[in-house]
Amino acid sequence: MREVNGKWVVISGIFLIALSISSFFIFTNGTHIVKIGGYFDGNSDEAQVGGATDVLVKNNIAYLLDASDGLEILDISDPSNIQELGQFQKDDLSFYPRKVFVSENIAYFAVKYNGLKLIDILDPSNPIEIGLYGNNCSILDVFISEEVAYIAAGENGVEILNISNPSNIVQISNYTDNYNNTWSLDFDEQNNLLYVADRIDGIEILDVSNLSSPVELGQLALESAVEIDVVGNFAYISLYDNGLSIVDVSDPSDPVEISRFEDRIIKDVFVNGTSCYLVTDHGLFLLDVSDPVNPVISNAYTYQNSAGGVFINADLIYYANGYAGLEILQIKPTNLNYYLAGFLIVPGLIMVYFGVKLLGKLNEETKYMENIVRNY
C-alpha cells in the first residue's frame, strides 16, 4: 500500500509538470495598463471646473492644462521623476481651459470662456503671453498649420485666423450655418480638409483650400458630437453620452457611419494605429479598431478622477486625469502563461521529489526485509 502511494505521488507530480509545460504553450500573454509615473502638485481644486483637462507631449516635454494651475510645462524624460519647468497661470484660466496645441515655440490653448491664448514657451521656465483672441464666444479647440489657426468657436462655428502677428490676430473667415455648436476639429493638411465635430450638426467636412471661403463638402447628422480624431479613411467621433461613432470619410461628400461603440460619457478620443483610446466617466478604455466595423475593448484603466484628455507618444499613455493631475501609463504583458506554468510546476517538482524519495525508502525497507528472511 505504501509503495502504491509513492508511485501515485510520482505520477501526480509528473502530471502537474506536463500540465505546466502545456499551459505555457496553450495560454497566450494578456496585457494590462499600469501607472509608471505621474505629476500632481496638489493645487487642483474640485470646486473648479475640473483639474487636468488636456495634455500634449513634444520632445520629452508635456504641456498640461489644468483648471486651477493654467498651463504647466513638465520635463517627462524620466516618468518616475517628473519635474515642473514652468507655469503660466491667470485667474481667468479657471473658466475651463479645454485644449492645447504646440507649434514651434508657441503654445496655443483654447479657454472655453476666455478666448484663444498664445504663450511664448521658448524659455519653459518663463512662459509669456504674447497674444489673445476672443470674439465673444466659446473657444473649444484649436489646430495650427503654419501661420493659420483653425478654431472650434462653439455657437460661432469655425473661425480661421491669421496668427502671423500674435499681437494682432486677424480673422480670415468664419464658417457657420443655421445652427452651430462646434466643439472639436481635426485637419488634413495634405488635402486641405477640415473635419468638424458639432453638437448640433454632427460631422462636417470642409474644403479650406481657399482660406477666405471654406466650403462644406459633406455632412453626417450625429447627436452630441464633441470630439473627433481622423486617421486614414476613418473619423472617430465622441458623441459624449451616446458612445463612439466610427465614420468612413473616404468620400468627403458622403461620410457614412460604419459602426458605433456604445458607452456612457466619452470625453476624449485619441487614435494611434489600430488602437483607439477613450477617456470616459469610468476610466480609460482601449479599443482594438483593426476592424473598424467591429471595435472591441482590448484593455482598460478604470481609475479616473474627472479625467479630461489623453495623448499617446511611442509606447506611453499620457492621461490628464482631472484632480489626480497627469498620469503616465504603459501597457505591459500579464504573462499569464508564465504565472500558470510556475504555479503548476513547483508543486509538481516537489511531488516528484518526495515521491522518488518515498519509493527509495520503500525499496531500502523491502531489501532489508528480504535479507532478514534469507538469513532466517
201 shares its domain with 165: yes
pLDDT attached to residue 177: 83
CATH number of the CATH domain containing 201: 2.130.10.10
2-26 helix and 336-375 helix, angle to the nearest 10 degrees: 160
**Rounded CA gap, 282 and 306, in Å?**
9
141 shares its domain with 21: no
119 shares its domain with 157: yes
**Nearest of 77, 88, 65, 73 to residue 37 by alpha carbon:** 77
Asked if 218 and 232 count as a contact pair (C-beta separation under 8 A), the reply is no
pLDDT digit string, tens, across residues 21-48: 554 454 445 678 999 999 987 655 444 4
pLDDT attached to residue 264: 77
Place of cell 490653448: 109
168 shares its domain with 227: yes
* Nine-digit cell string for 314: 511611442
**Rounded CA gap, 268 and 279, in Å?**
5
Which of 333, 348, 363 is the C-terminal boundary of a domain?
A: 333
Which run of H or of E encompasses 214? none
Asked if 212 and 172 count as a contact pair (C-beta separation under 8 A), the reply is yes
Asked if 205 and 237 count as a contact pair (C-beta separation under 8 A), the reply is no
**Four-point Cα dihedral 48, 268, 64, 80, nearest 10:** 110
pLDDT attached to residue 222: 95
81 shares its domain with 120: yes
Low-confidence ranges of the chain (pLDDT < 50): 1-4, 16, 23-24, 26-28, 45-49, 93-94, 341, 344, 348
Range of the domain at 355: 2-27+337-375
Q: How many CB atoms lie within 10 A of CB 316?
A: 17
287 shares its domain with 352: no
41 shares its domain with 100: yes
pLDDT attached to residue 147: 95
171 shares its domain with 238: yes
Which CA distances in Å does 110 have to 85, 158, 200?
A: 21, 13, 20
Domain count, the chain: 2
242 shares its domain with 354: no
325 shares its domain with 245: yes
Asked if 156 and 176 count as a contact pair (C-beta separation under 8 A), the reply is yes
- Find all residues with CB under 8 Å of 364, minimum gap 6, and list them: none
62 shares its domain with 187: yes
9 shares its domain with 122: no
